[in-house]
Amino acid sequence: MEINAHTHSLPDQISIDIAVIGSGPGGAVSASLLAETGKSVLLIEEGSNFPIQSATSFSRDEILLKYRYAGINVAFGDTKIAYVEGCCVGGGSEINRGLYHRTPDSILAKWRAEFQVDDLSSEGLLPHFLACEAVSHVEYLPEGASAMSIRLAQGASLLGWNAIEAPRLYRYGSGTGDGHKQSMSETFIPKFLSSGGRLIADTRVDLLTRSAGRWRIKARSARGNGVPQQIEISASSVFVACGAVQTPSLLRRSGLTRNIGNSLRFHPMVKVVAEFAEDVNSPTDADPVHQIKEFEPKIGIGCSISTRPMLTLVMVNHPEYLGYVTANWRRMGIYYVQTTGGLSHVRNIPFFRDPLVRTRGNVEDLLRLAKGLKLLAEALFAAGATAVYPGIPGYPVLRSMTDVRALPDTLKNADGSLTSVHLFSSCPMGENKDVCATDSFGRVRDVDGLYIADASLLCTPTGVNPQGTVMAICHRNATFAIDNHFR
């Protein structure tokens, strides 16, 4: 059952068995499993509940409806990173492309060795990947990829580099034009509701306290007259799944600070626009899906959404060409290079609603991104690009490999060019108590009945699109909790 806080007042006090705070991939998967136990489960979401069809993907309307602060979030420091968060029922799954990967073996081995995560292997995770994939279908394009996507693969092939077509959490139907994304609002949340779970949207949780063996959740819910309603929710157990920034913020507001919010990580990214001699971009194209895997996990290369507004945004550092983009955008596409750095802290500020995210400069990240930018440009020129426009202030338009070789060997610390859509690792799991916020299965140390169930748990960046990892890890952890604590 869904309770829409925009149109109905809620009881001032609610008592349930389990509360799940946040409805993104981790929260939705966890809530769905927990509801199947027969216990009363309440899924609480700060954002509103919009159907997946309520706005065109990557449009202005979607950004205003479903992104936190219309996508304007910045990690400050000597290296600034602009990042995005979903804020709606379904979280980040509603706004991303749904590119899907299982966790690389090398990443799991690193987590076992450095963070001492118990019982974590590709073989052990496989049933959880399969269970999630059975609900959220993973498919390859039924028809050919877009020309701008194929160009990246062609360039890699000519250079002898490994490139793939990434599958997506998507149901394509009979063709690329009549499918729909397998976001949480299309998959696990309906499954959760059909199992007897309850969903409250437009409700922000401010504080968690523990009293008399139960958790007290202080929250504010929107009402039709615009006046926030203060509510208190009592629960035996709580799963916090607010995302890698908002989860540590809530826990720290609630007095829980041990290894929480100290190790937020990103996939810092730089974008370029490549121009070709012929059209490679059409409004009817499927989302681009090719990625170069040759240099992962340290350097990832791929293609991005390349609508005319998106192209204009990346070209803002080449203002003299903005009119040129308007006339020639069909011959252009957006590509990116990313790495696995961006170490940051999440801290609350008195009297401010949202936390401060502070980054610490990493020389290795900037060196890798500079190297990756040259590799990306090389692949694009091999694929026939006539020009490459780096989305970095002060960088020239590249017309040949001679121009590429003249680029600096590192990026500047604070040029404002870094962005990220992947956030994780702010509350890592594992038995290494010096750095881990939870045990190997997401249970917060030193308190009873409190779990984390989102990308905060991932010990390091995944090197690949992380949604598949988040879903599988949270499915694994919820299954463990059910078997060991909720029977």
List the catalytic residue out of 290, 422, 475, 485: 422
Rounded CA separation 203/57 (Å): 24
Most distant pair of Cα atoms in the chain: their distance: 70
Angstrom distance (rounded) from CA 61 to CA 309:
13
For the chain, the first-to-last Cα distance in angstroms comes to: 24
Per DSSP, the residues of 253-285 read: HTT--TTSSS-BEE--EEEEEEE-SS----TTP
Distance CA 191, CA 31 (A): 9
Q: Report the b/e string of 83-108 with b at 16+ CB within 10 A.
A: bbbbbbbbbbbbbbbbbbbbbbeebb
Q: Is the separation of the CB atoms in 299 and 261 below 8 Å?
A: no
Q: Which of 388, 264, 428, 314 is nearest to 58 (CA)?
A: 314
CA distance 144 to 156: 18
Host H or E run for residue 192 = helix 188-194
Backbone phi, then psi, for 225, in 5-degree steps? -90, 5
Verify whether residue 101 is a known catalytic residue.
no
Three-state SS at 44: strand
Helices 122-135 and 467-485, axial angle in degrees (round to 10)? 100
The CB density around residue 387, as the number of other CB atoms within 10 Å, is 19
SS3 per residue for 142-186: CCCCCHHHHHHHHHHHHCCCCEEECCEEEECCCCCCCCEECCHHH
Q: Which of helix, strand or coil describes residue 452?
A: strand
Catalytic positions, written as ranges: 422
